[in-house]
Amino acid sequence: MTWLRDIPFKVAKFFHRFVSRLTADERRELIAEIRPAASPGFDYFLLVILSCSIATLGLITNSAAVIIGAMLLAPLMSPIIGLGLASIIGDDQLLKASASALFRGAILAILLSFLMTFINRSLPFVSLQEMPGEVLARIRPTPIDLIIALAGGMAAAYAMTRPNLSAALPGVAIATALMPPLCTIGFGIAMNRWDVAGGATLLFITNAVTITFASATVFFIRGFSIEARRKGQKLPRSLAISLLLVLILLIPLTYYGVKFFKEASDNKLINTVVAQEVNKLHDTQLVDIQVIHQDNNLDLVITIRTSKALKYEEVVDLQQSIVEGLQRPVSLKVDQVFAEELDPLIPPTATPTLTPTMTQTSGPSPTNTPLPTTTPTPTPTPTATPAQAQIKSTGLPPMQLYQSPMGPVIGNLKRGQWLTILYGRQVIGSIVWIEVQDEEGRVGWMPEIYIVQATPSTTP
């Protein structure tokens, strides 16, 4: 393991040619600045609560701008930098305070994000039927995330040792995001998605350990741990341990990175083959494709836009073509969205209409007319009249009209828009879906919770 311990020392020796060490007074001033920022206090926990609230709402609404706002607060960066500094200078008090602040802040963020997500599930403002993209972006860490954290941690520590570079800290906080992965953990637990929580946990641990190692390396280069070198030690033991932890983290990150790369390659091949086969059909366009891997079998649910319904034989041929292209068993389901293309520059083809002629036509022979019989008188039967309803003010996201319950989207709806409630009604999970017709004549489905039915009034 001697070569492992010599790596940071050789790196530090190289950078000493370009970066000067801090003086004793500058080191004491920096330690005095980091110590209170890395200790748990009211200001620290308040920033954790605010940052976590912003990040969680950003994840729920799938808003990258809101999540960036939470990153700028970056309350967890100070304890992690404090851990790196304490491990270099051997300050047990700073080490305990920083570790306590980081652990308690992380637990608080996970609990708060769990509660906010759990409460949001029972509210009608944002639908979480599908996992937001901002959540999915934080559950598949790779070695690239480790490199980002390494560069960000070094930049943060170096900027703290150079007061004239403090303007770089907000950018570092965005690059080395710590709060969004924690909020993703709480989000995954609230949604009962342990794969989401597990992936986000690995990302947070990767960021925390790598930033600690990176900051400790920068502090070592800048002249801290002079006492260790005076004792004949080339490298502080804490820095070697941090490097070992980073290398250990590379094992699962590399494994998942290769796994995700293989999945991405498979999905690209699937999308290419399906798109090619769908384009071979007449007047048919691929709208969406859902891929579900089940052992050796592959389930595909594709949504197409077509001017006429596909026949059963065409769907069978499409499935067979996809199987031949992918060289694996495929189970196929096709959702069809019917659409007619009209071009104002091309008028519709005129239909010939028969005109009367003077040609004599033989008529039927006269026959006796039967005597009239009594005809039963029809009785009125009450028929349900379609009711009128109006879309409630739901905020975000905008309401959409679905071809079938939880099926493909066929149009957007506006708040306050009037609808006609038809006779279809289905319950899927805990959501009641009803069949409606909008003002443009489109017939589709939407959740009943988002509409208010108009109450008819008696007219004197």
- Tell me how many degrees the CA angle 174-176-179 measures, rounded to the nearest 5: 80
Residue 253 clears pLDDT 80, i.e. is over it: no
Q: Are 244 and 212 in contact (CB under 8 A)?
A: no
DSSP alpha helices (H): ranges in 77-193? 77-89, 92-121, 133-136, 143-161, 169-175, 179-190
Residues 414-455 have pLDDT tens digits of: 778 888 888 888 887 678 888 888 888 888 888 888 888 776
Locate 52 and state its tokens. Answer: 């976590």
Locate 336 and state its tokens. Answer: 């069809």
What pLDDT sits at residue 109?
92
DSSP alpha helices (H): ranges in 280-398? 312-326
Q: CA-CA distance, 68 to 50, in Å (whole number)?
A: 13
What pLDDT sits at residue 426?
85
Q: Are 235 and 216 in contact (CB under 8 A)?
A: no
Residues 170-224 have pLDDT tens digits of: 666 666 678 889 999 999 998 888 888 888 888 888 888 888 888 888 888 877 7
Tell me what percent of the residues of the chain surpass a pLDDT of 90: 4
Q: CA-CA distance, 140 to 191, in Å (whole number)?
A: 17
Domain residue limits, the chain:
2-263, 280-338, 387-453
- Using a cut of 0.75, tell me whether the model's pTM lies above it: no
Q: Are 435 and 444 in contact (CB under 8 A)?
A: yes
318 CB-contact burial (10 Å; exposed 0-12 / middle 13-18 / buried 19+): buried
Q: Are 212 and 246 in contact (CB under 8 A)?
A: no
Of residues 390, 407, 388, the one with CA closest to residue 450: 390
Report the CATH fold assignment for 387-453.
SH3 type barrels. (2.30.30)
* Number of other CB atoms surrounding residue 374 within 10 Å: 5
Residue 383 clears pLDDT 60, i.e. is over it: no
Peptide bond connecting 397 to the previous residue in cis, omega within 30 degrees of 0: yes
Q: Are 320 and 332 in contact (CB under 8 A)?
A: no
Residue 110 clears pLDDT 90, i.e. is over it: yes
Residue 302 binned pLDDT confidence (cut-offs 50, 70, 90) = confident
- Helices 92-121 & 42-60, crossing angle to 10 degrees? 40
